[in-house]
Structure 1
Amino acid sequence: MTRHDPATGSSKSRAGLRFSSGLLAFAVFLVDVLTPLEGAVAVLYVVAILLAARTSRRNDIIVAAATCVILTMTAYVLSHDLKSIASPALRALVSLAAIGITTLLALQNQAATSRLAAQARLLNLSHDMIFARDRRGVITFWNKTAEQTYGWPAEDAIGRVADDLLQTVYPDRRDLIESVLLEAGRWEGRVEQRTKAGTALTVDARWALQRDHLGRPVGVLETHTDVTDREAAHAALVQSERRYRRMFDASRIGVLEEDWSGLRAALNSLEPGEAGLRDYLVQNPDFVRYARGLARITDANPALQRMAGASSSSAFIENVDRLLGADDRSFLGGLLAFAEGEPFYEGETDLVRLDGGKVPVLFTITFPPEPGGDRNVLAFVMDITERKQSQDALLAAQAELAHAARVATLGELSASIAHEVNQPLAAIVTSGEAGLRWLRRDVPDLNEVTATIDHVVAEGRRAGEIVTRIRTFLKKRSPQQDILQISEIIDEAALLVGRELAKDDVVLTIEVEPGLPPVRGDRIQLQQVLVNLLVNAGQAMSGQSGPRIVTLGAGSVAGERLAITVQDTGPGIAPGDLPRLFDAFFSTKNGGMGMGLAICRTTVEAHGGQLSAESVPGSGATFRLTLPYSQEHTTP
C-alpha cells in the first residue's frame, strides 16, 4: 500500500491546471484566428487566466495573462488590417481590458487567499483550540489543536453546531452570554466541554465577534485553553489547604508559622573567617539576640494562643523574641541547624506568656528544603507543664526514698560509725587524764599539759567532723550542683564504710589516678552511690572462705570522662540476674528492698553518667560508673 504524498499531489494538480490553461488559451487563439466570428472571442482568455489562478501561484497568473495578451495581439494582427481602426480593434481592446481586469482581480484574490492561508497556518500553530463559527453556531474553521484535543478531524467538525458537538455547559444562561458578546464584542469565561471520547474538559473560553464592512455580526472566533489539569491541581491545592487549616486550628499542639528569610539574609552576610560559622555564633551572643528579632511569626494556631495567654493570632504577628525569655539557650541550636541545612531541630525551653508567666515546652522546628521554604518555617510546641510537675513529684519521691535508703545504710553502718566516733572520744579521755596527771605533779609540767590540751582539741574537732559528715549524709535536702574532686568523695565514702568492711575481714584497696579533673554534681548523692556499691561488694563476700578484697579505682576514659570501678572477689552475679540487676524492687540479698541499685543508676544518670555491671560467675563482679568532667575546668 503506497502512501499519498500531499506535496506531490499538489504539484501534479498545479501542473494539470497549467496545462489546461495553456491548452485553452491555444484553443481560443485558433478559434480567433481561423474562424470568421466577429465577436470578442479573445474575452474567453479570462477562463484560461482563472484556471491558472487556481494554482494559487502569482507567477502562474502573470505568465498566463502575458501569454493571453500576446495571443490576442497576434490573432488581431493575423486577422485584420492595421491600417484602419474599426470594430475589430475595439473588440481587441475590450478583450485586452477583460484580460487585464481578470488578471488584477486574480492577483488580488491570490494575495488575499495567501494572507488567509498564512493566518490559518498561524492558528494551526497555536497551542489553544481555535475554531470559527457563524451566527447560527455552525463551525466554519477548526484548527489542528482542536482536532488533537477534542478528537474530531476538521472535515467532521466543520458544518456542525459547536454547542451540540462539544456539549458545552456555560456558567450562565446562553442568551445572556450572547448579549454580552454583541454589546462588548468580546466574552471570556470558563466552560465545560466533552471530547469525542466522552472525556470532560474544563476550558477558559475567549470569544471575539467578527463583523462585516457594514458592522453587522457575521461570525465568532473562539479560542479555548484546556485548564482541566490546572483546575484539578487548584482543587487539590484548595482541599490540601483546607485540610491543613483544619489540622492547624484543631491541633492540641501549638503551631507557629514563621518567616526566616530575613534571618537567612543576615547569615549570608556574615564573614565568620577561619573559625567557622558554628564557633562564630557561639562566640557572638549579640548576633544571636539580633537574629531572634529577624525570625518573624506570621500565624499561630489556637492551641499556641491559649498556651501564651493570647486572645487572637494578631498578638503574634511579630518576631519570636517576645516568646523567648532572656535566659533562653535553645534558639542558638535552632539557628545552627538552620544555617547548616538541617531539616529540623528539637529542643526544650520556657515559653514566655503575654502576662509574663513561663510555660515549659518541648518544640520542634522544621525547615522546608524547597525554594522559598524560609518563609514557611513551622514550629510545633507542646506544653509539658504537667510532665514537669510529674517529674518534680517523682524526683521528690525519689529524694524521700534515697533519704530512707541513706538512713537504712547508716543503720547498717552503726558499728562503723560508733567506732569512728569512739576513737576520738577515747583519745580525748586519755589525753585529759594525762593532762590532769601533769598538772597534779609537785612541779606541773606546763609544756606537757599544753601538748595534751592541743591533742584534746584536735581529737574533739575530729569527732565533730565525723558527726558533721554523718549528719550531712543523713540530711534531706535538694540536690546541689558543685565542683567536686572525686578523690575527696572516695576518701569520705571509704571512711564511712571502713569499719563495716573490716568487721567482715574485707580489705579495701583504693587506686585513684592522680590529677583527675573535677566533676560537677551533688556530693552527698555521689557519696551514697559509692557507699551503696562498697557495702554491696562487702556483703557479697560475707561468709566466703577465700580472700575478700574490694578494689575502688578511678581514672580517665579516653581523656573525656571519669570512670570509677568497684570490683570484688566474691561469687559474682548469676547470668539470669544481671539484666534485672538495676530494676526497682529486685534484689539478690535475703530481705533486701531492691531499691539501692535502682537509686544508684537514677542518681548517676541525673549527673549525665552511666552505671553498668559485669560479672563472670565465680570471679567476682565489677560495677563501672562513668561521669562527665566539669566543662568549667576542662582543659582545651
Structure 2
Amino acid sequence: MTTPDRVTGSSVSRAGLRFWSAILALAVFLIDVLTPLEGAVAVLYVVAILLAARTNRRNDIVVAASGCAVLTITAYLLSHDLQHIASPALRAVVSLAAIAITTLLALQNHAATNRLAAQARLLNLSHDMIFVRDRAGMISFWNKAAEQTYGWPSDDALGRSADALLRTSYPDKREAIERVLLETGRWEGRVEQRTKDGATLAVDARWAVQHDHLGKPVGVLETHTDVTDRVAAHSALVQSEQRYRRMFDASRIGVVEEDWTDVRAALKALDTGGAGLRDHLARHPDIVRSARRLARITDVNPAMQKMAGADGSSAFIANVDKLLGQNDRSFLGALLAFAEGEPFYEGETEIVRLDGRKVPVLFTITFPAEPDGDRNVLAFVIDITERRQAQDALLAAQADLAHAARVATLGEISASIAHEVNQPLAAIVTSGEAGLRWLRRDVPDLKEVATTMGHVVAQGRRASEIVARIRNFLKKAPPQKDQLQISEIIEEATSLVAREFAKDDIVLAIETEPGLPPIRGDRIQLQQVLVNLLINAGQAMSGQSGSRIVTLRTGTADGESIVITVQDSGPGISPDDLPRLFDPFFTTKHGGMGMGLAICRTTVEAHGGQLSAESIPGSGATFRLTLPFSQQHASP
C-alpha cells in the first residue's frame, strides 16, 4: 500500500510528466498526418493519457484526453475528406473509443487511488504503529507513528521483512501464531520489538488478515501499541507491592489495614447543629462508638495477630471495635484528626486480646491523601508492656529514692520538729502543774481545773497531729490521689521548715491568692516537693550577708491550673548549670545527692503539672510549679 504522491515523487516530477505526455501526443499527431501509415496510429494517444494519469491529477487526465481527441479528429480531417466514409473513418472512431475507454479507466483508477490515499492519511494520523506486510512478511505500508517510534523512515522499511527489521520476540512459536491468524483471521498478543537505536519496546499487537476478491489471504495489517511505560509502571507497582508485603509480613511492629470509607460518609452526613465537631462528639459519645464500628479492618500482619493472640487475620476482618476496649478514648482523637484532614494521629491505648487480657500499646494511624486513601488507612501498633513494666519499676525506684530523700530531709529539719513537738509538751506540763495547784487549794477551783484540763487535751492533740504528720511524711506507701487544698499543703510544708529558717535568719514571705480551687494528688508527695524547694532556697542563701528572704506565692494561670513560685534572694544559678538543674545526680551543693530536683520534677509531672526554674545571676532563683485543678473544678 503506497500513496500516489510517493510514487510520482520518486520517479519523475508532475511537470515533467505533463511535458512528455504533450510531446508524445504531438509526435503521434505528426506521424498520423505526415506518414502514409494505414494503421490506427491514433491509438498511441492512449500512452500519452496514461503518462498524464501518473501525475495523479484529475485535470491532467481530462486535459490530456481532450487534447488527444482533438488531435485525432484534426489529423483525420487533414488526411481525408468527409465525402467518403471508409476504413480511415473507422480507424478514427476506434482511436476515439480507445481514448475514451482509457480516460474512463484512468479516472476510475484516480478515484480509487485517492480513496486509498485518504485511508493511508488516516492511518498516518494514528498514534499506534501500523504497517502492512504480505504473506512473505515483506512490508508494503509503514505509517508515520511507526517511523517515529521505531526510527526507520518509510523508504527504509518498505520491502523489508518485518520480523528481521524489528527483531520481534513472540510469546509463543511463530508457526503457532500464524496458524491461529489464518484460522480466525485475527491475533492479539504482547510482543517485544527493537527500535533502530536498539531500544526494546513492549507492544500490544493486533493482526488482521487481508483477503482478495476470491477470499485468498494476500496480506496482514498489524497495529501495534507501545506499552513499554505501562509495563514498566506495572512491574514497578508489582515490585512495590511485593516489597510492601514483605515489610508488612516481616515487621515486628503490628500493622493493621483499615477501610474508613463508611466513616467518611457518616461524618459528611452528620448534623452538628452549628456546633464544632469536637464539642458535638464530646456531647454525643454514641456517635463515636458508632463510627468505631464503621472502621473495617481489611488485613492484619502476623505481628499484630501475635499481639492479639489470634491464629490468623480472619479473626479481625470485622471492625476496630473488636480490638479496642469499651472505655477506650483514643478513637475520638483519631476520628477528629481524620475529619480535619490531618495526615496522622498518635496516641496510647490498650487493645483487648482474644483471651480478654489487655495489652498497653502505642499507635500511629496514617491517613493517606490520595482520593482512595480512605480505603488504605494504616495503623502501626507497638506493644509497650515491657516499657510499662519498666516505668512501674522506675516509679518504684523513684519512690524509694523519694523516701530516702524524705528521711534525709527529716535529719535536716530535726531541730524544727523538736521545736514543734517541744512546744505542746511544754504547754501540757505547764497546764498540768497549774491544774494541780488549783486542786491543792483548801477549796479546789474546779472551774479553773476544767479549763486547764482542756488546755492539756488541746496541746496533746496538737502534739499527736505533729507526730502523725511527720510519720506520714516518712512512711513508705503507694501514692494516693485525693482532692487537696493547696493552702493546707503550704501550711504543713512551711511548718516543717520554719525552725530551720529561724535558725538561719531566713524570712519566709507567703502570698496566697484567696479562694483557690482544689487540686488532686498525693499530699505527702506534694509536701515533699515544697519542702525540698524551700530547703534548697534557704541553702542557696547560706553564708550570705544581709537580708535573706524566701517568697512563696500562689495564684492561677489560664483558669485551668494553680501556679506556685518559690523565689530566693540568693546569688542565683549559673547559666551553665541551669539546663542541667533537673538531671539526676547533678548537684551544685557540696555533698548533695543530686536527686532532689529530679524527684521533684518527676513527681510534679506525674500529677499532670510542670516544674521549671529561671534565674538571673545576682538576683536569686525562682522555681515555678504548675498543677492542674481537680477535674470537678476545671473550667468548662
TM-score, normalised to structure 1, is: 0.90
- 2:178 aligns to what SS in structure 1? helix
Superposition deviation, residue 88 in structure 1: 4.5
Q: Encode CA deviations 1:525-560: one digit per residue, 9 max, x unaligned.
A: 111011112223334445655333322222345655
Please list, as runs of the form range in 1=range in 2, the aligned pairs for 1:598-609 lying within 5 A after superposition.
598-609=598-609
Q: In the alignment, which residue of structure 2 is the partner of 1:490?
A: 490
In 2 relative to 1, CA 498–219 (structure 1 residues): closer, same or farther, beyond 3 Å? same
Please list, as runs of the form range in 1=range in 2, the aligned pairs for 1:540-579 lying within 5 A after superposition.
540-542=540-542, 546-557=546-557, 561-570=561-570, 572-573=572-573, 577-579=577-579
Distance 1:548 1:582 in 2: 24
- 1:275 aligns to what SS in structure 2? coil
Structure 1: gaps (5+ residues): none
Confirm or deny: 8 A CA contact 2:8 2:54 kept in the other structure: no
Superposition deviation, residue 360 in structure 1: 0.9
Q: In the alignment, which residue of structure 2 is the partner of 1:249?
A: 249
Q: In the alignment, which residue of structure 1 is the partner of 2:269?
A: 269
Pick which of 325-334 and 22-31 moved more.
22-31
Q: Encode CA deviations 1:584-621: one digit per residue, 9 max, x unaligned.
A: 33444444333222211221222233333445566544
Please list, as runs of the form range in 1=range in 2, the aligned pairs for 1:146-161 lying within 5 A after superposition.
146-161=146-161
Q: Encode CA deviations 1:62-89: one digit per residue, 9 max, x unaligned.
A: 4444454455556556666667765455
Distance 2:587 2:97 in 1: 130
Q: In the alignment, which residue of structure 2 is the partner of 1:174?
A: 174
Confirm or deny: 8 A CA contact 2:147 2:153 kept in the other structure: yes
Q: In the alignment, which residue of structure 2 is the partner of 1:295?
A: 295
Q: Encode CA deviations 1:125-155: one digit per residue, 9 max, x unaligned.
A: 1212222222222222222222222222211
Q: Encode CA deviations 1:427-463: one digit per residue, 9 max, x unaligned.
A: 3444445455556656655544444444344334333
Q: In the alignment, which residue of structure 2 is the partner of 1:129?
A: 129
Q: In the alignment, which residue of structure 2 is the partner of 1:280?
A: 280
Q: Encode CA deviations 1:83-117: one digit per residue, 9 max, x unaligned.
A: 77654554444334323322232222112211211
1:185 partnered with 2:185: yes
Superposition deviation, residue 348 in structure 1: 1.0
Superposition deviation, residue 362 in structure 1: 0.9
Superposition deviation, residue 387 in structure 1: 0.5
Distance 2:185 2:341 in 1: 56
- 1:365 aligns to what SS in structure 2? strand
Q: In the alignment, which residue of structure 2 is the partner of 1:469?
A: 469
Distance 1:77 1:8 in 2: 37
Structure 2: gaps (5+ residues): none
Q: In the alignment, which residue of structure 2 is the partner of 1:360?
A: 360
Q: Encode CA deviations 1:375-433: one digit per residue, 9 max, x unaligned.
A: 22221111111101000000011112212222332343333333323333443444445
Q: In the alignment, which residue of structure 2 is the partner of 1:107?
A: 107
Distance 1:103 1:547 in 2: 131
Q: In the alignment, which residue of structure 1 is the partner of 2:375?
A: 375
Distance 2:401 2:412 in 1: 16
- 2:553 aligns to what SS in structure 1? strand
Distance 1:480 1:239 in 2: 56
1:202 partnered with 2:202: yes
1:395 partnered with 2:395: yes
Distance 1:576 1:208 in 2: 86
Alignment RMSD, CA only? 3.2
1:515 partnered with 2:515: yes
In 2 relative to 1, CA 572–147 (structure 1 residues): closer, same or farther, beyond 3 Å? closer
In 2 relative to 1, CA 190–440 (structure 1 residues): closer, same or farther, beyond 3 Å? same
1:535 partnered with 2:535: yes
In 2 relative to 1, CA 107–458 (structure 1 residues): closer, same or farther, beyond 3 Å? same
Paired letter, 1:222: E
Distance 1:574 1:127 in 2: 77
- Identity among equivalent positions (%) equals 80
Superposition deviation, residue 490 in structure 1: 0.6
Q: In the alignment, which residue of structure 2 is the partner of 1:316?
A: 316
In 2 relative to 1, CA 574–65 (structure 1 residues): closer, same or farther, beyond 3 Å? closer
Paired letter, 1:469: R
Superposition deviation, residue 515 in structure 1: 3.2
Distance 2:343 2:533 in 1: 44
Q: Encode CA deviations 1:172-227: one digit per residue, 9 max, x unaligned.
A: 22222222222222222222222222222222222222222222222222222222
Distance 1:28 1:591 in 2: 135
Superposition deviation, residue 494 in structure 1: 1.1
Paired letter, 1:387: R
Superposition deviation, residue 306 in structure 1: 0.8
- 2:294 aligns to what SS in structure 1? coil
Pick which of 576-585 and 354-363 moved more.
576-585
